[in-house]
């Protein structure tokens, strides 16, 4: 090999050596970072720590404020800034910024107008934004206006300022909140935005089409904008209602729908005012058609008003210490008429029995204060008046209502121990079960103590099932997260009895058509920790507890959780809410058919006759049971005090609430339109 270097090579090497001091001249400047919020482990300074694997993430646990979110840099001196680079988190997931604005200023009091604004194009690499001209300033503010998936969060892996010869780094950050006015979403605006987002995610809906109960809930290829979607679904709703007996009064509404369809065909899409007006008219007509449903023959609805829990986790959301004060128990009178009226059920009511005897239960008259929970048992919140309500339930005769209430007062620290005879929280930081008559009289406190008691449910034997921490113990994650399981008690709050000694959490009992209890259990044994929060059943005295189906499902084969289980009237199926593991009890409605052979997958919208002709598979109320003995038990159909419990056609999901003459029926229906 010829090891002699040419003159050109020697000159090149000498040139590189002479350039080395210039490359080394890049200096590092430490800056002050402030952000509007941050999550533990994802603090604001991590956006400038030089590590693309770390990141700043806005609060995703305790106080998830909506956009905008912002990061502000104090460079300590003025620099000429040519632009900036934004590197999304690895994979471009939660919090990746879509729309943004950027300011550069010499003063932190007046930033003036943005020097750049737009939408980041890349989710998997750095987005470099160059200003029209270099801007001199000491303070830089990057404000995120939206997130790529429409979520509330913001995240930044690295934020790089384009300043010649300088790189900026940070080791700590402070939180300086942005004032957010009270959020009041216009219903039309909210629906329009939601459908717009749906139309931009067609691939997702194509992927879940096989699991969808009705194809009209999907996005169709011919859908051009939200007006198309609403008109198509309204047409399907009207066609479905016309098949009902007795037939609803639709003669005056059907011509109005045809007129809107004709206008729709003549009005080109494109975000024009005409299309938006058409959308709003279609929504109003859809409401009229839905309210013509003959099953909506009741005149009162019971509901609660409450703020979201301040900690996003399936367990913590039901601890009283994470409740934000505010809200109440309400009755909506004439809900489907032209002038519905709202009534506070507890207005003027005073507790007649229990520790809170002589007191009123209210959510307070001031806006919800700033409340923070760290997930480790520590609450940060100002002292205030007013509590929070949860989980109402109506008795079979419609005369009594159960609910849970927490005072939101007292010690703000968790009491860590493993003695089940003691609770973990101050009495005023726990939910307790109360009972009141449907007219607001005879308000009584049924439970008390240092345990959370919630999700009360009237049973056909006259007792009350509920969820409580009285069993003792903690979940397996190692956090301060007490277990709660299924118990029952007498109607006056006495004789509290454990129905389940399960070693992890359980939720939201209700009654099946044959008089058993169905509830959600987190079956944590030999499973991935974020799955298997699925339906279980048991007798009224806690015997024969077992999974309904789907208990060994791998993740992505079915929802993380199935909560709020309710038996569908005149059907063997159940409706539930598909909810997340690390999240609150909100999500899509799903239907579960336990008569289908258990494949641990999604069981939604399957025919009733799938297994009816198989003589070798016994059919019970809980589906084909490949077991023997007690597992095949099926009790008699429950009838409510001489009336059919659920006089409803098929699986339309809407109740006949005349069974509950005072405030409607115990399982509230959600109309699908």
- When pLDDT is cut at 50, 70 and 90, the band that residue 189 belongs to is confident
Condensed to tens digits (0 to 9), the pLDDT of residues 68-86 reads: 999 999 999 999 999 999 9
pLDDT tens for residues 295-304? 898 899 999 9
pLDDT mean over 193-200? 86
Tell which residue, 287, 302, 303, 295, has the closest CA to residue 337.
Answer: 287
- β-bridge partners, 436: 401
C-alpha separations of 668 from 223, 296, 653, 671 in Å: 31, 12, 9, 10
- Categorize the per-residue pLDDT at 47 as very low, low, confident or very high, splitting at 50, 70 and 90: very high
Residue of higher predicted confidence among 69 and 650: 69
All residues at 6 or more sequence positions from 90 whose CB lies less than 8 Å from its CB, including other chains: 52, 53, 157
Phi, psi of 73 (to 5 degrees): -110, 130
**pLDDT value, residue 385:** 83
Read off the pLDDT of each residue in 218-233 and give the average, rounded to a whole number: 94
349 falls in which pLDDT band (50, 70, 90)?
very high
Name the residue among 560, 466, 548, 554 with its Cα closest to residue 506.
466
- pLDDT band at 439, cuts 50/70/90? very high
Asked if residue 359 lies in contact with residue 370, where contact means CB atoms within 8 angstroms, the answer is no
Residue 391 pLDDT class (50, 70, 90 cuts): very high
Q: Within 10 A of 268 (CB to CB), how many other CB atoms are there?
A: 9
For residue 16, the tally of other CB atoms under 10 A from its CB is 10
Q: Rounded CA gap, 435 and 400, in Å?
A: 7
Q: What is the pLDDT of residues 556-572, one digit of tens each?
A: 777 888 999 999 998 99
Q: Report the mean per-residue pLDDT for the chain.
A: 83
Nearest CA to 528 among 555, 500, 498?
A: 555
| 671 has a pLDDT exceeding 70 | no
Q: What is the pLDDT, as a whole number, of residue 567? A: 95
Closest by Cα among 638, 634, 614, 612 to 622:
634
> Quick count: other Cβ atoms within 10 Å of Cβ 565?
25
Top pLDDT among 433 and 638 is at: 433
Cβ neighbours of 22 (radius 10 Å)? 9
For 21-26, what is the mean pLDDT? 62
The Cα–Cα gap between 320 and 453 comes to 9
Tell me the C-alpha to C-alpha distance, in Å, between residue 224 and each of 271, 275, 402, 574.
10, 11, 46, 34
- Tell me: the pLDDT tens digits for 447-456? 999 999 999 9
pLDDT higher than threshold 70 for residue 309: yes
> Is the per-residue pLDDT at 621 higher than 80?
no
Domains and CATH numbers, the chain: 28-175 (2.60.120.260), 188-238+253-284 (no CATH)
Tokens matching residue 161: 């300022």
Please report where in the chains the tokens 């799955």 appear, as a residue: 531
Task: Convert 167-203 to b/e letters by CB count within 10 Å (16 or more is b).
Answer: ebebeebeeeeeeeeeeeeeeeeebbeebeebbeeee
């Amino acid at each position: 090999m010829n090891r002699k270097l040419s003159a050109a090579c020697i000159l090149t090497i000498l040139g590189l050596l002479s350039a080395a001091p210039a490359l080394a001249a890049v200096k590092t400047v430490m800056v002050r970072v402030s952000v509007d919020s941050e999550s533990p482990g994802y603090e604001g300074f991590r956006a400038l720590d030089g590590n693309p694997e770390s990141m700043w993430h806005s609060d995703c646990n305790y106080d998830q404020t909506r956009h905008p979110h912002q990061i502000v840099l104090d460079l300590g001196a003025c620099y000429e800034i040519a632009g900036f680079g934004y590197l999304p988190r690895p994979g471009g997931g939660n919090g990746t910024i879509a729309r943004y604005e950027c300011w550069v200023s010499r003063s932190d009091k007046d930033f003036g107008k943005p020097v750049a604004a737009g939408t980041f194009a890349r989710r998997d690499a750095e987005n470099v934004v160059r200003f029209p001209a270099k801007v001199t300033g000491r303070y830089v503010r990057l404000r995120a206006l939206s997130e790529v998936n429409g979520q509330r969060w913001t995240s930044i892996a690295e934020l790089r300022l384009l300043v010649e010869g300088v790189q900026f780094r940070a080791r700590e950050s402070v939180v300086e909140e942005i004032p957010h006015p009270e959020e009041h979403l216009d219903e039309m605006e909210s629906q329009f935005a939601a459908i717009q987002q749906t139309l931009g995610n067609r691939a997702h809906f194509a992927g879940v089409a096989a699991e969808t109960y009705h194809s009209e809930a999907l996005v169709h290829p011919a859908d051009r904008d939200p007006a198309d979607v609403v008109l198509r679904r309204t047409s399907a709703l009207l066609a479905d209602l016309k098949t009902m007996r007795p037939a609803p009064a639709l003669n005056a509404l059907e011509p109005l729908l045809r007129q809107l369809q004709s206008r729709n065909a003549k009005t080109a899409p494109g975000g024009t005012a005409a299309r938006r007006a058409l959308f709003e008219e279609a929504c109003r007509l859809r409401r009229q058609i839905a309210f013509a449903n003959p099953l909506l023959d009741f005149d009162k609805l019971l509901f609660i008003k409450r703020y979201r829990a301040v900690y996003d986790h399936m367990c913590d959301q039901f601890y009283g210490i994470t409740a934000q004060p505010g809200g109440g128990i309400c009755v909506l009178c004439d809900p489907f008429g032209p002038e519905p009226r709202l009534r506070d059920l507890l207005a003027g009511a005073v507790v007649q029995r229990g520790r809170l005897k002589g007191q009123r239960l209210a959510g307070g008259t001031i806006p919800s204060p700033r409340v923070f929970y760290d997930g480790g048992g520590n609450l940060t919140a100002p002292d205030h008046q007013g509590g929070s309500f949860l989980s109402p339930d109506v008795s079979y005769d419609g005369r009594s209502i159960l609910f849970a209430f927490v005072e939101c007062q007292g010690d703000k620290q968790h009491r860590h121990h493993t003695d089940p005879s003691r609770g973990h929280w101050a009495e005023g930081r726990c939910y307790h079960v109360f009972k009141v008559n449907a007219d607001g009289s005879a308000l009584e406190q049924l439970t008390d103590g240092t345990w959370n008691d919630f999700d009360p449910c009237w049973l056909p034997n006259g007792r009350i099932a509920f969820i409580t921490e009285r069993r003792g113990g903690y979940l397996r994650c190692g956090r301060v997260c007490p277990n709660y399981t299924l118990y029952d008690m007498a109607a006056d709050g006495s004789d509290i009895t454990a129905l389940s000694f399960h070693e992890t959490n359980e939720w939201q009992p209700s009654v099946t058509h044959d008089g058993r209890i169905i509830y959600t259990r987190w079956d944590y044994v030999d499973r991935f920790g974020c799955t298997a929060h699925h339906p279980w059943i048991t007798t009224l005295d806690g015997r024969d507890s077992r999974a309904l189906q789907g208990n060994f499902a791998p993740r992505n084969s079915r929802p993380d959780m199935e909560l709020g289980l309710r038996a569908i009237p005149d059907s063997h199926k159940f409706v539930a809410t598909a909810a997340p593991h690390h999240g609150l009890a909100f999500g899509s409605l799903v239907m579960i058919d336990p008569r289908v052979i258990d494949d641990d997958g999604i069981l939604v919208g399957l025919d009733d006759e799938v297994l009816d002709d198989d003589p070798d598979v016994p059919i019970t109320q809980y589906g084909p049971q490949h077991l023997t003995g007690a597992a095949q038990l099926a009790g008699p159909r429950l009838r409510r005090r001489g009336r059919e419990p659920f006089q409803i056609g098929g699986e339309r999901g809407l109740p006949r609430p005349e069974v509950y003459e005072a405030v409607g029926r115990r399982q509230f229906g959600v109309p699908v339109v």
